[in-house]
Structure 1
């Protein structure tokens, strides 16, 4: 996370807020263009498609115009899909912050373009000229996978009735992607290679982002400053505990094993979750972090860092 944190400090002010809403708008614009073109017997995808050879000839708008290509026809299932992606993407924006969410999405778009050029230069396959239209379908799917990796125990209703943990939905999606690639491969090797490239390049951001953002749980200088201020304000440096929430204030926990051994010293909890009240004395493996979006110095355990309601 150190690299991403440094980048966020430098360029975080340029992040696009409400990016999920803009993604949904590109879908809407794409469907409108497609319907207008169909009414005039014109396939607008020929003008929007990601085509490396045409880009090299000067049609540079194709580097971004392919974002408007709708992945499927519009029906009730498409509307449900867009609604679900909007909800999940909005949660990720609030959880990760605008900058990290921007990096996640734009990495998927960038690697998709790279994948198309790799196909062109290595296999001589121009997906645009072959009318194999790259779209943002798999990039949008990365929103779902990102949510599943962040909140694996969150439940969703299968068929609107059966609650299933979202991590199992993600596993099913991965297997379905493999099945889809194999199906296209049996039909045509060239088509299978194109679909495999599209899937891998679009979801590369999912792999790289979580590889880069593995939490080392080392506090930065600013985080240590917030922690030290918090300790001074709550009195933990003076040998007793005062909760960040006055309603949850309690006496410090005492390590009973210390007394049983004859040592009269007491251990004072330094970390305290403002939601569940657990400390490092309850479980030495618990990790605690301060939330920078809460007004005040509120500390949370690893189970509630991303799921608590921000104090405003």
Structure 2
């Protein structure tokens, strides 16, 4: 994804950090509204016909509509996606995670307008276009890069992400083929960000946890302070004490068999006693 790398270098500083927390706060607000003034949620849904009539706030307000009205389900969603979102953001970086989430929003809005025009201007299907499938795309993304990571189902049963992903994919397939045209568009549009990001999985290889850990370790090694000896020398043999200032032609290496950072000149690299 060279285009993504270029965008990140140019616009990465504008990324919203902890975006998941912002989204979950929106859910909490929507949940409070659904319990206190439930009829008000109607004015927040994604209704293209009403947007074209001037209710432009619906382009954003639909995000606060909670995917469930059950308090237990909402608590579960808050806990689960708080963890999943932070994980994706730490692995990909804030910019790529922002692109992933906002592209899901954009595709959902486009899908809603497509449904509106296909249905001949039908109004009332806004509830079909919610953040439910976008949340699903977050879970599928985590399962794709961390398939063997375990989730404690109901806080008791450990289940690997990949098995839950297979189950969710099967449920999505059933809903897609059994649902009507609007349902098909809603599912396809909301998950299009997942398809685009992972259609070519090798492009995301550098952002898998193992690769991220390797890069982090490498950066730590590179940031390790350089030894400075008397006279400003950077290398010193642990056996004879000579430095590059004594002989510019001397070569120095660290010994991988010694416990610690011991450096030796070319004359003692293979003849010294290993430090245990």
Q: Answer yes or no: same fold by TM over 0.5.
A: yes
Question: Is residue 17–residue 94 contact of structure 2 (8 Å, CA) maintained in 1?
Answer: yes
Q: 1:217 to 1:67 in 2, by over 3 A?
A: closer
Q: TM-score of the superposition, structure 1-length normalised?
A: 0.64
C-alpha displacement of 1:15:
0.4
Q: 1:215 to 1:239 in 2, by over 3 A?
A: farther
Deviations 1:55-87 (A, max 9, x none): 122221111111111221132232112201101
User: What is the correspondence of 1:128-147 to structure 2 with a 5 Å cutoff?
Assistant: 128-130=123-125, 132-147=127-142
Q: What value does the CA root-mean-square deviation take over the aligned residues?
A: 3.2
Question: Is residue 143–residue 161 contact of structure 2 (8 Å, CA) maintained in 1?
Answer: yes
C-alpha displacement of 1:133:
4.3
C-alpha displacement of 1:171:
0.8
Unpaired segments of 5 or more residues in structure 2? Answer: 207-214, 228-234, 236-250, 265-276
Q: Distance in 2 between matches of 1:56 and 1:193?
A: 22
Matched with 1:188 is: none
Matched with 1:215 is: 203
Q: 1:250 to 1:14 in 2, by over 3 A?
A: same
Question: Is residue 34–residue 69 contact of structure 2 (8 Å, CA) maintained in 1?
Answer: no
Question: Is residue 155–residue 163 contact of structure 1 (8 Å, CA) maintained in 2?
Answer: yes
Matched with 2:166 is: 171
Matched with 2:156 is: 161
**More displaced, 74-83 or 167-176?**
74-83
Q: TM-score of the superposition, structure 2-length normalised?
A: 0.72
Q: Which residue, out of 65, 68, 77, partners 2:64?
A: 68
User: What is the correspondence of 1:1-312 to structure 2 with a 5 Å cutoff?
Assistant: 1-38=1-38, 43-124=39-120, 126=122, 128-130=123-125, 132-183=127-178, 185=179, 192-211=180-199, 214-215=202-203, 247=260
Q: Distance in 2 between matches of 1:29 and 1:137?
A: 16
Question: Is residue 30–residue 68 contact of structure 1 (8 Å, CA) maintained in 2?
Answer: yes
C-alpha displacement of 1:196:
1.6
Question: Is residue 49–residue 133 contact of structure 1 (8 Å, CA) maintained in 2?
Answer: no
Q: Secondary structure at the match of 2:189?
A: helix
Q: Distance in 2 between matches of 1:242 and 1:118?
A: 65
Q: Secondary structure at the match of 2:129?
A: coil
Q: Distance in 1 between matches of 2:198 and 2:151?
A: 23
Q: Distance in 2 between matches of 1:164 and 1:197?
A: 31
Question: Is residue 50–residue 134 contact of structure 1 (8 Å, CA) maintained in 2?
Answer: yes
C-alpha displacement of 1:157:
2.4
Question: Is residue 30–residue 69 contact of structure 1 (8 Å, CA) maintained in 2?
Answer: yes
C-alpha displacement of 1:197:
1.2
C-alpha displacement of 1:50:
1.0
Matched with 1:279 is: none
Q: Distance in 2 between matches of 1:250 and 1:96?
A: 37
Question: Is residue 108–residue 204 contact of structure 1 (8 Å, CA) maintained in 2?
Answer: yes
Unpaired segments of 5 or more residues in structure 1? Answer: 186-191, 252-312
